[in-house]
Amino acid sequence: MAESGGSFLKLDHNKIRQAYEKALKTYGHRADVTGIDIGYKYKDGMRRDEIVLRVHLREKVDRDLLAEAELLPPEVDGVPLDVIQASYAPSSNGILASNGILALAARRHRRDPVQPGLSISHHLGTAGTIGAVVYDRTDGAACILSNKHVLAEAVLAEVGDQILQPGRTDGGRRDVDAIARLRRMYLGVKGDAAIAALNQTRQVRTAQYTTDAHVQRTRRAQVGDRAVKSGRTTGVTEATVDGVGRFKVKYGVQEFRIDGFKLRVRDPANPDNLELTFHGDSGSLWYDPATQEGLGLHFAGEDDHAPAAEFALACHLDAVLDELLVSLEPVAPEDFIAPGDVPPTPGPEPADPEPTPGPSGPTLADLLRGAGANEETLRNLSHDEACAAALREHGLSVTTGADGTLEIEIDPKKTRGRLRLVIEPE
């Protein structure tokens, strides 16, 4: 089993990085490509102590069946190229699946103090995991960090919405369990992340639940790193960083290109059928257990129950902290910044590309047509991933009349005509 240390012994780091950038430009646009990274080579399901450039495909097809333009070369500028079959989607939030995996009970309960590793959600959401306690660099406010698709999961989520601990699926109620309000959110090339400002109704611990790790600084993950996370559903699990690069992740009907790293179990054959992550672990923080440095925020996993297929995806922690203007350590008043005064990130920043349209399917009008006009319908729609993604992409405007009527109006660009859903007051 390969470990850290053999990562770049066989290839010059700059050379493989240049090959990676070239592969992104050459193959990243292809519809069948789901990711490009630098990672371990595999042969017959076994991890080899060799670092290569990897192109991830939705489906591996026999070379004899491909047109010449579809063929991938054996190497890019002298760097060996390997092909991996994989598709990526954000980890579903905390709804129990049919294979019987249950969340660890203590993490799903109302807790005081609140701390990373516990259940959390938007008040209309399901359940994910608190990744870290962070501090707003603009005013010093203590906040919780998790994924955007956890803290802002609902279709109509907006700044100021209540955040519950435990998450709504775990019994959280707005009248007694609200601990924070949504403050900022981001979904793009830097990651899937959001913060919510704590309301000081409960005590707060910064240490990870059950491991007591205090993550107060970050570093970039490297191939071969050992990483640990503390999550709402699978608890404390350990993994090896298997590859670092850019991955196409489907959110409903859209695909986003997200920079980050892929994790796999220490023994890739996974003879003990370990679950690295599962539904409800979204937002967990992956960190180096030796140094307690934060590496990334978990946001995607797999639904294939084959032991050898187990993996997780995380976005780089330093990138989302910078994007959301937060720090892992308290911020003194003299160090506060104005949102518009944020210094540029050193080095070239990858452009945040437009989402790649997903496969053809029902239009937004198809998704909403025939829906009953009541608040419960709206709540149900907010948990339909395809509908949620479609709504976010269509200039959604919401107004409330003097009589309490809620009117949702959608730009007609992709709805084949203007569509209006009216929610009458009870």
CA distances from 341 to 317, 321, 337 (A): 21, 16, 6
The predicted model gives 162-178 an average pLDDT of 96
Distance in angstroms (rounded) separating the CA atoms of residues 245 and 331:
31
How many domains in the chain? Answer: 3
In a shared domain, residues 346 and 245: yes
In this prediction, residue 44 carries a pLDDT of 83
34, 248 in Cβ contact below 8 A?
yes
CB 415 within 8 Å of CB 189: no
CATH of the domain at 347: 2.40.10.10
CA distance 113 to 111: 6
Q: Say if residue 198 is in the same domain as residue 312.
A: yes
User: Are residues 236 and 341 located together in one domain of the fold?
Assistant: yes
**Based on the domain organization, do 125 and 80 belong to the same domain?**
no
Region 201-230: mean pLDDT is: 97
Residues above pLDDT 90, as percent of the chain: 56
Same domain, 215 and 317: yes
Same domain, 100 and 227: yes
Q: How confident is the model at residue 306 (pLDDT cuts 50, 70, 90)?
A: low
Going by the DSSP 8-state scheme, the letter that residue 105 receives in this structure is: G
Mean pLDDT value of segment 10-24: 88
Helix locations, 199-270, DSSP H: none
Q: How far apart are the first and last CA of the chain?
A: 62
What pLDDT sits at residue 93? 59
Among residues 85, 116, 144, the one where a domain terminates is 85
pLDDT > 70: percent of the chain: 72
pLDDT higher for 423 or 166? 166
Residues 225 and 153 in one domain: yes
Please state, in angstroms and as integers, the Cα–Cα distance from residue 400 to each residue in 13, 406, 408, 423, following that order.
Answer: 57, 5, 9, 9
- pLDDT, position 272: 75
Mean pLDDT of the 210-228 span: 97
Residue 304 confidence (pLDDT): 61
231-240, 294-303, 335-344, 369-378 — which is least confidently predicted? 369-378
- Is the pLDDT reported for residue 21 higher than 90? yes
- Residue 153: the pLDDT is 77
The pLDDT confidence band at residue 92, using thresholds 50, 70 and 90, is: low
Residue 79's pLDDT is: 94
Closest CA to 226 of 4, 1, 2: 4
- Decide which of 317, 338, 358 is a domain's last residue: 358
Q: Which domain holds residue 146?
A: 88-358
According to DSSP H, which parts of 2-139 are helical? Answer: 13-27
pLDDT at 190: 97
Residue 297 and residue 264 share a domain: yes
Domain end call among 311, 327, 358: 358
Query: Are 374 and 346 part of one and the same domain?
Result: no
56 and 123 in a single domain? The answer is no
Looking at the structure, tell me whether residues 331 and 411 fall in a common domain. Answer: no
**Is the confidence at residue 53, as pLDDT, over 90?**
yes
- Give me the mean pLDDT over the 12-25 stretch: 92
Q: What one-character DSSP code corresponds to residue 147?
A: -
The mean pLDDT value of the chain amounts to 80
Model confidence at 212: pLDDT above 90: yes
The region, left, alpha or beta by phi > 0 then psi within -120 to 50, assigned to residue 405 is beta
The reply to whether 150 and 287 lie within a common domain is yes
